[in-house]
Amino acid sequence: MGQRAEHGGYDGVQYAHFIQSLSKVFDLVGSTVKMVRAAILASLLAVATGALAERRFVPGAYIFEVEDGHDPAAVAQQVVGKHGTTRMKLNYKHFKGVSVQLHDLKGAKDTAASLASAPSIKRAWPIEIHDLPDDHPSKVFNLKDWNITDAKLTKRDVMNETDTWSTHVMTQVDKLRAKGVTGKGIKLAVVDTGVDYSLAPLGGCFGAGCRVSFGYDLVGDDYTGSNEAVPDPDPMDCAGHGTHVSGIIVAKDDILHWTGAAPDVTFGMYRVFGCPAEGAADDVLIAAFNMAFEDGADVITASIGGSAGWSESAWSVAVERLVEAGVVCTLAAGNDGGRALFDASEAADGKGVTAVASFENVVSPYVGYGSTYRIDGGGDEMHFGYNVGNVYNWKSPPTAMPLYATSLDFANTRDACDPLPDSTPDLSGYLVLIHRGTCYYSVKAANALAKGAQYIMFYESAFDVALGTINVQDTNITAVGFTTARQGMAWVDAINAGRNVTVTMELPSNETVIVSGDERDGVGGCLSPYTSWGPSWDMDAKPQVGAPGGLIWSTYYQGYAVLSGTSMATPLMASVMALVLQVRGTTTPRALDNLVSSNANPQLWNDGSGFRAGALAPVPQQGAGLVQAYDAAYATTLLDPSSLSFNDTDHFVKSFDFVITNKGSSTVTYNVTHVPALTAYTMEKGTVYPKKFPPDLVDTAAKLTFSTSQITLSAGNRKIISVSAQPPEGVESKRLPVWSGYIAINGTDGTSLSLPYQGVSGSLKGTASLPAGQGWIAWSNDTKPLPNHVPDNYTFTLPAPGTATTKNRLPMLYFNLALGTRLMRVDVVPMTTCRPKNLTTDDPLGDKYKVIGEYPGFPVRWWPRGSAKMVWDGQLDSGDYAPAGKYKFLLRALRVFGDESKLADWDVVETQGFKIKYST
């Protein structure tokens, strides 16, 4: 594996590259969790601190997949018939079905179950609504703010320039660019909010011959995820997210001199969100991916999803099939890294799908006006960027001015907040440098003006922030600007060292607008703290690999933006896949995953406070590491598979085989060694719940044994090597430590590859998904993350059935899942002797209980871990209302790897008893 270092420039900034056959199943997944009546209640599944993201389902809507040989339209007419209306016909090669909106919301679950039993139906799912990840905006730059217009700018062919874009250097895209590899001949499709193709960097048009040459709007502007989609042929963006994603891939900006990573791919956009981007439903996402496939896409990418970790959802299944059919699918790992382990995102959790982690950009990009400076009057001119204030009458023609700092202490936040000392010279001929600090700009400017200052440059106090604007009230100041903290610090350091700094301020104009960036000490190149962790609940390795996603410059709706998230890392990874495809020709998604994973650079652990020397970040956080495009494209040694999972103690895999193939032209000797990563505890010490980021880490590692530690392969030959693992000793298995690391393969030809592995000490099935006591009744107006229990036998007075509002104080069920569950039930159990005869039934699981129904929307499948709050107005899943009386909720969650037919595999929690009566 070794260590690799890359160095590159980014607008004058130098930086280091840190190394270091399911049977027919009717899956009732909360089909009525969001019933229409719930819209007038407090949020049915409100998000609390550390809670799972709200799962939303379209009331009474289902996807029915048809058996082979059946026509979806005919099935929709014959089977669904009078029960509902067709939302979408999903008549695709790899997914044939229909999505339906049932008329009777109260009886939707029973109707859907009955319809699913028809011989023509293979499988059915309730329709879930998915959101964009919670990306982290830094700054949005509207073109009008900078008066950037094509007519006034000097253009040059950016494709003929050396690629020094920081994220491209980090990932070796720059090396491929130098060889003319730009994605030409590869068809890449994005599923997102659309694309503002009117922007010059994105070609200015849509259709044949345009940079955005194909695609479709599947939903229309008014789509919310739950209402009817109104498609049209034009995928114009109105939210910005899809435009940002598009620029990362395909932009060619001859004005600001940057490009996307694969600017010559044949590019398409499938819009699945409305205005604003409120959600995209399963049926729309399935349609979009399949449309892209049938339009000939080689790579499909989407930065959509949320906490899940189960690969059986409708969307995940649909994406898996396209991967099996030969199309690379990259999806965002998610931005829930604060929840740490076991939080893979849908549909990134799909088998064979490339889940993409996020790394931090090594620079903090910003847009500004360019100017220059010199040290001691000699050497090359050095460039820097700044933003103008409310006055900017710099000298014309531009003239060099000596720099004078009012304080030589970067930590002095009160710089120029008080009158400057008598020793201050006449500042009229200087560019005066002032720390932003704590008091008003106008106060600082006035104190400088008192000493004759006419030209002032403020510098930022904080790193990694976009340049703001500045306003000084005194009209006697001739010009004022604002530059970055790092630039200000560099100047202060130079003056402290006895150097003379002279600055030439260029007049702000279209000609001087630049994109630049400051080096990021301590965090550049590290894993983003928000990047979601794996593995999946089936112990599949997630994520697969990572790319830069933190502080990423790209196009945006009507302009540009700096955004952070796995949403930004994923299109860069899709671009890399396209570039590698261009170099290597036709290959399978598995082969591509093998290439990018084995050639990636595993990175050191960094919790935000700095890199930990010699300690690799866990595989469940970074997968194979930071992608290296050039090495993957031109690799002559191949590894298969892309990762190994030894599973947990109950399902421990004693050994795996992996294959090394020498595709080069000469004989190579390979050494096989073990490089462990840090072991991460899932559970917080002393609790039954996972620890938030950062998890507790230990250096204790597994021991690997290889069938051979050295092999020699002549050209064209291959060798199978077996590896067995001995889990780490001395770890606390009840806390589910996830151990991981890398098998390093180093060849005499310079080959340096790695194969990530992982395992868990302890039993996932033996760990409660729903811990004892973690479900109770609270008041609906209790907004605390951990609401209070109501007293036993407390009486709630409910409004007349169907009339509840947020003003009513209703019973609220709170529960907290420590681990995910494949199936969860919430039954309503009467506690009175005279049970409602027309409602009471035996327990569906065959246990001792008598029940009158379930909470609306239950049972649910494939639930992620986390807490939920659910308000109850007395309605049952049947649509009936519970009679007045005493009740309790019976919560049951199937454990990971549990068997639904075995009662012992279910966690059972009973709430306290409570009474309900209805107002008259």
166, 226, 567, 867: the active-site residue: 567
For residue 263, CA distances in Å to 44, 138, 266 come to 44, 24, 9
Verify whether residue 11 is a known catalytic residue.
Answer: no
Q: Mapped to the 3 state alphabet, what secondary structure does 264-317 carry?
A: CCEEEEEECCCCCCCCEEHHHHHHHHHHHHHCCCCEEEECCCCECCCCCCHHHH
Compute the distance between CA of residue 8 and CA of residue 707 in angstroms, rounded to an integer. Answer: 41
For residue 810, CA distances in Å to 166, 548, 875, 891, 909 come to 54, 46, 12, 19, 21
Handedness of CA 285, 289, 292, 297 (dihedral sign): positive
For residue 42, CA distances in Å to 131, 592, 781, 805 come to 20, 47, 8, 8
For residue 334, CA distances in Å to 112, 200, 337, 399, 589 come to 31, 30, 8, 50, 21
Cross-strand partners of 698: 679
Compute the distance between CA of residue 367 and CA of residue 360 in angstroms, rounded to an integer. Answer: 19
Please report the beta strands in 591-676, taking only residues with DSSP state E, as ranges in sequence order: 604-606, 611-616, 637-640, 644-645, 655-662, 668-676
Compute the distance between CA of residue 635 and CA of residue 598 in angstroms, rounded to an integer. Answer: 10
135, 192, 283, 877: the active-site residue: 192
Q: Kindly give, in sequence order, each residue whose CB lies less than 8 Å from that of residue 604, ignoring residues fewer than 6 positions away.
A: 18, 20, 526, 611, 612, 613, 614, 615, 616, 617
What are 350's two structure tokens? 């799909």
Amino acid identity of residue 209, one-letter, is G
Give which of 33, 39, 22 is closest to 109, Cα–Cα.
33
Verify whether residue 130 is a known catalytic residue.
Answer: no
What are 462's two structure tokens? 């904080």
Handedness of CA 341, 346, 351, 352 (dihedral sign): negative
Q: Kindly give, in sequence order, each residue whose CB lies less than 8 Å from that of residue 773, ignoring residues fewer than 6 positions away.
A: 909
Verify whether residue 241 is a known catalytic residue.
Answer: yes
- 557, 238 contact by CB (below 8 A): yes
83, 130, 241, 435: the active-site residue: 241
- Tokens 């088998």, residue located: 351
Q: Kindly give, in sequence order, each residue whose CB lies less than 8 Å from that of residue 900, ignoring residues fewer than 6 positions away.
A: 822, 823, 894
Amino acid identity of residue 280, one-letter, is A
Just list the catalytic residues.
Answer: 192, 241, 567
